[in-house]
Amino acid sequence: MKLWDKGGQVDAQIEKFTVGLDRELDHQLAKYDVLGSIAHITMLESIDLLEKEEWLLLREELRRIFHQIECNEFVIEEGIEDVHSQVELLLTQRLGDLGKKIHSGRSRNDQVLVDLKLYFRDTIRDLVGDIQALFSSLLVQAEKHKEVLIPGYTHLQVAMPSSFGLWFGAYAESLIDDVISLQSAYKMSNQNPLGSAAGYGSSFPLNRTMTTKLLHFDSMNYNVVYAQMGRGKVEKNVAFGLANVAATLSKMAMDVCLYMSQNFDFLTLPDALTTGSSIMPHKKNPDVFELLRSHCNRMQGLPNQITLMMNNLPSGYFRDLQLIKEVILPAFEELKECIHIAQYAIDNLKIKDHIIEDPKYRLLFSVEEVNKLVLDGMPFRDAYKKVGIEIQNGNFDTDLNVNHTHEGSIGNLCLEQVKEKMNKVVLDFHFENLDKMKQELVGA
C-alpha cells in the first residue's frame, strides 16, 4: 500500500531503492505517528470534516493501535511503504472508508515532521535522564576523592596541582552545558509543523492552534514554507546536541586512557573491565574507554554529515531528507549505550593515592611558592622571578600542601551548587508536558 498510489506499477528495483530503510526505522516513529493522528482527527472534527461519531470510532482504533505498538505487537507489513501507510491501512481494514478520511488536510511531509519532533522530545528526555545518572556518579566520585591531588597539565607539561575532585567535577559540570545544548534542540523540536501539509498549507480551515495545544508543543512553525524548511535543520540541531555530549565523553575517555598508562599511573580498572594481549602477558588494556572514545568521535561527525545531505537544497521537500533518518535515529541508541558504559566504568575506577609524592611533580608547587611570597608583601613579578631563579639553580624546595579556597577550586569544589545548576536546567525542559499529552490523547 502506498498513500500516493493511483493504480500504476512501480519498478521493483526503484521501489526498493526509494523506500530504503523507512520500514525498519519507522517502527521507532510509530507511536508518535498515532499521537499526531489523534490530534489531527480531533481538529478535523472541530472544523466539521469528521462527524463526532466518526471521530470517536477513529480515536478508539488509533488508541488500540497505540497500545499494540507499546506491546510490541505492531508490524509494518511486507509491501507497505511506511508507518503512515500501515496505520491508515489498519484503520481502513477495521473501519472501511472511514479510515480513508484521516489524511484530509495533511501530507506525509508534515506528518513525518510531527513524528520526528515528538520522537526527538521523548528521546531527548530519556537521554537527559541517562546523563543525570552519569552526572550523579561523577559527583559521588568527586566527593569521595576530593583530597587526592594529581598534577594538572598545560601543553601536556606539568603545570599546577589539581585533584580527582576537580577532575570528576569538571566532567560533571561539562555535562550541564551539554544538557543546555540538548535543551536548544528540544526547543526547536517543540514547535508544531502540522497543518503545513506539503509545505504550502491547505484550503481546509485547519485549526493549527488546536493541534499545537493537543500535542503540547510550546508554539508552532507559523510559516508553512518554513515548517518544511525545518526538516533537516531540526535534525542537525539535535545532532549538535548529541555531538556535544559525545565530545565530553570522548575527552574523559582520553584522560582515563592516559591516566591508566604506566607513565601516569593515576588510576586503574578492575581486571574484569579490561582486556589483554595475545602476545604480551602483562597487558591490561582500557579497551572500554578506547571504544567509548571512538564511538563518541564518530558521533561528533554527525552534524557535518547532515549538513552535507542538506547542502544546496532549495526550499520545498526533497527525498534527500529521507536519508537523514538513517543517521540520526540510530545515533540516540549509540550515545545512550556509551553513557551507560561510561557510568559503569566510572563507578568502578580505582584511584591511586600519593601520586604527587613522586619527585618529578615537585615543580607543580612553584606557583604556590610565588603566591606565598606575594601574601608576605613581595610584588608578584619579583616573586615570580625569585622562584624562577631557584628552579633554574636547582634550589627550589616546597611542601606538598595547597590552600585553595575560592569557588570551584581544589578546596571548594561547589558540588552542591553544580548539582543545583543541573537540576535547574532539567526543570526548564518541562518534561511533565509529555506525560500530560499522552494521558490526554490515549488515556495512558
Q: What CATH number belongs to 109-148+162-356+414-442?
A: 1.20.200.10
Q: What's the length of the chain?
A: 444
Cα–Cα distance between 234 and 304 in angstroms, integer?
Answer: 14
Do the domains 109-148+162-356+414-442 and 12-104 match in fold? no
**What is the mean predicted confidence (pLDDT) over 148-156?**
95
Amino acid making up residue 427: L
Predicted local confidence at residue 4, as pLDDT: 42
Contact between 192 and 215 (Cβ < 8 Å): yes
Cα–Cα distance between 429 and 144 in angstroms, integer?
Answer: 30
In what helix (H) or strand (E) does residue 367 lie, and over which residues does it extend? helix 366-375
Q: Give 417-440 pLDDT, tens digit per residue.
A: 999 999 999 999 999 999 999 999
Q: Where are the alpha helices (DSSP H) in 96-223?
A: 108-144, 164-189, 208-214
Predicted local confidence at residue 17, as pLDDT: 64
CATH superfamily of 12-104: Fumarase/aspartase (N-terminal domain) (1.10.275.10)
Q: Kindly list the domain boundaries of the chain, sorted by start residue.
A: 12-104, 109-148+162-356+414-442
On the question of pLDDT at 154 being above 60, the answer is yes
On the question of pLDDT at 9 being above 70, the answer is no
Predicted local confidence at residue 48, as pLDDT: 97
CA angle 119, 123, 126 (to 5 degrees): 150
Q: Give 215-236 pLDDT, tens digit per residue.
A: 999 999 999 999 999 889 999 9
Predicted local confidence at residue 59, as pLDDT: 97
Whole-number percent of the chain with pLDDT over 70:
95
Cα–Cα distance between 44 and 205 in angstroms, integer?
Answer: 9
Higher-confidence residue of 78 and 99: namely 99
Cα–Cα distance between 393 and 31 in angstroms, integer?
Answer: 73
Task: For residue 26, give the DSSP letter.
Answer: G
Predicted local confidence at residue 11, as pLDDT: 61
On the question of pLDDT at 277 being above 90, the answer is no
- Per the prediction, the chain carries an average pLDDT of 93
Residue 31 makes CB contacts below 8 A (sequence gap 6+) with 66, 69, 70
Predicted local confidence at residue 18, as pLDDT: 61
> Which position has the grid cell 540538548?
182
Predicted local confidence at residue 252, as pLDDT: 98
Residue 263 makes CB contacts below 8 A (sequence gap 6+) with none
On the question of pLDDT at 441 being above 90, the answer is yes
Cα–Cα distance between 325 and 436 in angstroms, integer?
Answer: 27
CA angle 419, 423, 426 (to 5 degrees): 140
Cα–Cα distance between 173 and 177 in angstroms, integer?
Answer: 7
Cα–Cα distance between 332 and 302 in angstroms, integer?
Answer: 11
Cα–Cα distance between 70 and 51 in angstroms, integer?
Answer: 28
CB atoms within 10 A of CB 391: 14
Q: Give 179-188 pLDDT, tens digit per residue.
A: 999 999 999 9
Contact between 182 and 240 (Cβ < 8 Å): no
pTM: 0.92
Predicted local confidence at residue 12, as pLDDT: 64
Q: Give 15-58 pLDDT, tens digit per residue.
A: 666 666 667 778 899 999 999 999 999 999 999 999 999 999 99
* Chain-centroid distance, C-alpha 52: 41
In angstroms, what CA-CA distances link 293 with 244, 288, 342, 369? 13, 9, 10, 38
SS3 for 302? helix
Measured distance between the N- and C-terminal CA atoms of the chain, rounded to whole angstroms: 30
**What is the mean predicted confidence (pLDDT) over 354-381?**
93
